[in-house]
Amino acid sequence: MAGIDYSERIPNNVSLADNRRLQRALEEWHPKFLDWWMQMGPDGFQAKDVYLRTAVSVDAQGWAQFDYVRMPEYRWGLFLAEPEPGRTIGFGDHMGAPAWQDVPGEYRGVLRRLIVTQGDTEPASVEQQRHLGRTCPSLYDLRNLFQINVEEGRHLWAMVYLLDAYFGRDGREESEALLQRRSGDRDKPRILGAFNEKTPDWISYLMFTYFTDRDGKYQLASLAESGFDPLSRTCRFMLTEEAHHLFVGETGIGRVVQRTCELMREGKTDDVRRLGGIDLATIQRYINFHYSVSLDLFGSEMSTNAANFYTMGLKGRFEESKKRDDHRLKDSTYSINELDGDRIATREAPALPSLNERLRDDYIADCQRGLDRWNQVIKKHEIDHELTLPHRGFHRAIGLFGEVKVAPDGRLLSEAEWDARKQEWLPTEADQAYVASLMQPVTAIGRFANWIAPPARGVNGRPVDFEYVRLA
Ligand SMILES: [Fe+2]
Ligand SMILES: [Fe+2]
């Protein structure tokens, strides 16, 4: 790879040109990343021109430049949000001290683990989505898929930058390991459960971008509060990209719901499968699945790790700096669930170890907003039906609810009741086979698969019938 001007090849605002050691580390890593991308990134389409957004700087003009790019030539850049002069640590034992510009020695291992865990989710989602291009419902959707894929690739770069720039040799080893684990692989799985699930079809993908990318938003937002300033600034910039992923999920499911409602009205029936649509009951089961596996990503209700991350000043609460309390939480409490015989009750728990639950609460409130919007679409079609989020205890594997069976309405169930009814609540094999049968590629310019409505508008002011991917 000699002869490549890396400061040009890798757009950045981290003074890469002045940091020989970092340049060398990235020069070594870059071809390995490309190998991974060709092996595990989007299947096919690598030689096609895709209308993509590239960040070339962090200012308003530079962070969203649109042009046709072949994905392997995408310029994965390294960007940190602009520094806040005089920034101090906003919570925990070190509150008020200047933010760390270097890794605090005593927290080195913990910090590295936090960065690796976040970093691992980025390539994982690219792997999970790699076959979807083959069955895209439109060129518009295909382009959005690839936009998300290259940006998750960039998020991997962002975490690798931190590992290479601040963690020396173990950082470089972790950077390599991030390219070696594989989503769903029995021997070398990705670190977190939801990132080893399959994303076999476009409904699962849209649900993933709505529910699972949103977990990413909450993790990044709490890391953006970190006292380790480079991590904070990196995550702040990543959040600007994450917003697009959430948009794809929210509008994508909204478009599916809209199409379903149109078919229900046209055919005067709830059974839109006959008309090639996805019935609301099936959409609900997909919501139930993706929401519940995403809730698990927040971890146990009570967690010493979460308490330590906070006390150490490494990971804050969502919108920590907007909160008006002591930012130490040693004497405060937080309301969490507990099991009381055959019912679910609440109790006040010490605030620090319940930080996972607090973040989950913020996430749940945010998830509900999308549901409200989808329900508006249903209402506009004068259909009497409401999509809902299941109870937080439904279909959980981690924490308090991992040990019991809970119905979507929050009732505790026996194993037998659960087994008898779970197919009403989770996608069945028949649902998955039906959804799979709909996954026929639609690639004519401006055309959309029958099960999804076109978007309200195109990308970057372009029309909906723009040639977002040049397949010819
Ligand atoms: Fe990401
Ligand atoms: Fe994302």
Ligand 1 centroid–CA 267 distance in Å is 40
Q: Which ligand is nearest the CA of 145, by number?
A: 2
**Nearest CA to 79 among 220, 233, 223, 221?**
233
pLDDT of residue 3: 47
pLDDT digits (tens, 9 = 90+) for 295-305: 999 999 999 99
Ligand 1 centroid–CA 92 distance in Å is 26
Q: Which helix (H) or strand (E) holds 338?
A: strand 333-340
3-state secondary structure of 425: helix
Q: For residue 403, give the DSSP letter.
A: G
Taking the CA atoms of 63, 64, 69 and 71 in sequence, report the sign of the dihedral they define.
positive
pLDDT digits (tens, 9 = 90+) for 192-209: 988 998 899 999 999 999
pLDDT digits (tens, 9 = 90+) for 97-121: 999 999 999 999 999 999 999 999 9
Ligand 2 centroid–CA 251 distance in Å is 15
Report, as an integer, the average pLDDT of 208-222. 96
pLDDT of residue 55: 85
pLDDT of residue 342: 86
Which residues have beta carbons under 5 A from ligand 1 (an ion)? Answer: 122, 152, 155
| Mean pLDDT for all residues in the chain | 95
pLDDT of residue 6: 63
pLDDT digits (tens, 9 = 90+) for 406-448: 999 999 999 999 999 999 999 999 999 999 999 999 999 999 9
Ligand 1 centroid–CA 384 distance in Å is 36
pLDDT digits (tens, 9 = 90+) for 335-394: 999 999 889 999 999 999 999 999 999 999 999 999 999 999 999 999 999 999 999 999
Q: Is the pLDDT of residue 1 over 60?
A: no
Report, as an integer, the average pLDDT of 286-311. 97
pLDDT of residue 4: 55
In order, the DSSP letters of 112-166 are HHHHHHHHHHHHHHHHHTTTGGGG-S-HHHHHHHHHHHHHHHHHHHHHHHHHHHH
Q: For residue 183, give the DSSP letter.
A: T
pLDDT category, 7, cuts 50, 70, 90?
low
Ligand 2 centroid–CA 238 distance in Å is 9
Query: Distance of alpha carbon 289 from its chain centroid, rounded?
Result: 15
Q: Is the pLDDT of residue 2 over 90?
A: no
Q: Is the pLDDT of residue 60 over 80?
A: no
